[in-house]
Amino acid sequence: MEKAGVDMTEKTVVLEIDKPHFTVRLYESLLKIDLKGSAKNEIEEALENKPILKETIGGILSIFAPLHIRLSHIDSAHMDDTGNVKLILPLHRDITIPLELNEAKKLVDKLNRLIPIEKGKELERTMKKHRLQKIVEEERELAGEAIASTMVPIPEPTGVIEKEKEAEEEIEEEQEKED
């Protein structure tokens, strides 16, 4: 059974580390840190079941501790001598995950292999979106010049609306794959 909004890369667990108070799951494009037996875990479960709450309260909670982190949002992952893994996040507080040395090494190695791949994909999506927006703007400018020269009302240039819809659909599909 497939959950709505869950992409195939998210289903494939690359690494899972089970600790007494939390579980770390690394997917190809996402890192999940799930707390066990705490009030925060109950809140997290409630948020996952109510999308409207997730958009409002989830955003507030993620300021303090984002527990589902896209790999493209991680600047770097480092390990200290005691096995603590430190994730550097530009838009949040850094996260430290206390692990055993061998677990920490596996996690950091896999993160450092996957993060650049996901950052590249994110950059490619952003560039594609900007290119599509530029094409649409250029076609609108050309259509505007044609309208100004004839002074006759002309409907949207053919193809602009279709290209806008295609661009929006592509972006939505890519976002659905990510989520």
Domain ranges in the chain?
121-178
- Give the number of other Cβ atoms within 10 Å of residue 80's Cβ: 11
Region 55-66: what's the mean pLDDT?
53
Q: What pLDDT does residue 146 have?
A: 59
C-alpha gyration radius of the chain? 22
- Phi, psi of 36, rounded to the nearest 5 degrees: -110, 140
Distances (CA, A) of 17 to 36, 44, 51, 98, 158: 13, 19, 27, 11, 54
Please, which residues bridge with residue 86 across strands?
78, 96
pLDDT digit string (tens) for 111-158? Answer: 999 999 999 999 998 899 888 888 888 887 777 665 555 555 555 555
pLDDT digit string (tens) for 96-109? Answer: 888 999 999 999 99
